[in-house]
Amino acid sequence: MVGGPGLLLILLGAIVFIVLFTAKVKWHPFIVLLLAAYGVGLAAGMEANAIISAITSGFGGTLGSIGIVIAAGTIIGFILEKSGAALVMANSIIKLVGESRSALAMAFTGGIVSIPVFCDSGFVILSPLNRSLAARSKQSLSVYAIALSLGLYATHVFVPPTPGPIAAAGTLNADLGIVILLGLVVSIPSILAGYLFAKVFASKIYIDPKPETAPHATAKPEELPSVAKSFAPILVPVILIALKSIADYPSKPFGTGWVKTLFSFIGNPNTALIIGIFLAFLTVKKLTHVVTNDWVTEGMKDAGLIILITGAGGALGSVLRATPINTYLGEVLGGAQLGLLLPFLLSAAIKTVQGSSTVAIITTASIISPALGALGLASGAGPALAVLAIGAGSMTVSHANDSYFWVVAQFSDMSVPQAYKLQTLGTLVEGVVGIISVIVLSFFLL
């Protein structure tokens, strides 16, 4: 088997291959990641049967840990989008803070909505409300568009049950409850940085709001779910998962009896997200087969692609762990003291070149997994902080090869040069603030 510097060249070659074939050749990440797994195994001199075993065990093991969670989270998001619950959440937050602070409200609304709903879908859902608020406040649409965009982006990369952070947590064996809690903490300064960027910089570029309507934008209150029902599918699973993490803490704050057993069961991410699906059903006025079958099917279609890519990433990580690269990386990185900067920079590089934040997160987690020990991130809160560092990199930066870039530009009437000045530069600012926040947290937790 290959050793020494040859292993590092193999790893670098795999990264270049993944980036080149996903960004330039436009192959699907599922195929590219699996080919990279085979290529790494063969180049490292692994036996044929060992390669197959590592790929299948890595694929199955990854899906076994987070497959249901990704599917359930995606279904919840789709139902909240279709039922109008996302709009209810947005209106509720604006009523709470007032229209005078409506841009800030939209930033935090985006942060809440994007926990279960993909950021591009969330932006489309909330765009009519964004235009209306910009017109009523007599401000440029650019301020509201970027505040919303960066608010959505923060929790999209930091807070499960968004698929990227879930997949990374599974790959790095990070406690999902800790990832959620720390992800929420890191999201706050990131959202505030995005809001300040919107107010200070985006406000210099005027875009006429041109208010328009869209589904649910002018719906009567009685046609929409209540505030409690709208928030429940997000908040209840998050609270249950957090309670499980507390119950499983070594100090045993809930004891060792039935209370701990209950929280460990209902707070298991699989159980909690299944509960979330049924809570999402309650946001619909009349529960029919259209909701319980058709909407669930549509949500599962979106989840299927993510699950397969995540599994392929797990296969690559399994092959990497089966080689001596873990030991060699420990020797190389041990004195480099890169710590959390390495996953951040690697994720940022992959994101910038190929465009997808989810692919960047999954790929980076697979590559970085064998190096956690060498980076000093293998125990305690280390794996969770690594997930967040990868998340910060995965938003740095959004430009023309990112579908979200075009969603924000097209739904906000931005020209391409304006989108580069606003969306691309804004995600750079937010990503840098994100990794700084993660590093600051590490001073207290590592």
Length of the chain: 446
CA distance 41 to 10: 9
Question: Please, where are the H alpha helices in 201-295?
Answer: 227-247, 258-266, 269-281, 289
Q: What is the model's pTM?
A: 0.77
What local confidence, expressed as pLDDT, does residue 7 receive? 78
Look up residue 369 and give its two tokens.
């997994």
Cβ count within 10 A of residue 226: 14
Determine the pLDDT at residue 302.
75
Closest CA to 345 of 438, 443, 435, 427: 435
Q: Which two tokens stand for residue 221?
A: 């209150």
User: Over 90: is that where the pLDDT of 338 sits?
Assistant: no
Start-to-end C-alpha separation, the chain:
35
Taking each helix axis from N to C terminus, what angle separates 227-247 and 48-83, rounded to the nearest 10 degrees?
A: 150
| Three-state DSSP class for residue 114 | coil
Q: Does 223 have pLDDT greater than 80?
A: no
Secondary structure of residue 314 in the 3-state scheme = helix
Confidence of residue 329 (pLDDT cuts 50, 70, 90): low
pLDDT of residue 367: 85
Q: Maximum Cα–Cα distance for the chain, whole Å? A: 67
Burial of 210 from C-beta contacts in 10 A (0-12 / 13-18 / 19+):
exposed
Q: Which domain holds residue 428?
A: 5-445
Instruction: Indicate the pLDDT class of residue 326, thresholds 50, 70 and 90.
Output: low
Residue 11 confidence (pLDDT) above 50: yes
pLDDT in tens, 49-80: 999 999 999 898 878 877 888 888 888 878 88
Name the DSSP class of 372.
Answer: T
- For residue 321, the model assigns a pLDDT of 77
Cβ neighbours around 4 below 10 Å, total: 11
Write down the pLDDT at residue 213.
Answer: 40
Q: Report yes or no: 45 and 1 within 8 Å, Cβ to Cβ.
A: yes
pLDDT at 402: 83
102 — pLDDT class (breaks 50, 70, 90): confident
- Looking at residue 410, its pLDDT comes to 82
Where on the phi/psi map is residue 337: left (φ > 0), alpha (ψ -120 to 50), or beta? left
Pairwise CA distance, residues 101 & 109, whole Å: 12
The C-alpha angle 330, 50, 324, rounded to 5 degrees, equals 15
Do 4 and 331 form a contact (C-beta atoms < 8 A)? no
Q: How many domains is the chain partitioned into structurally?
A: 1
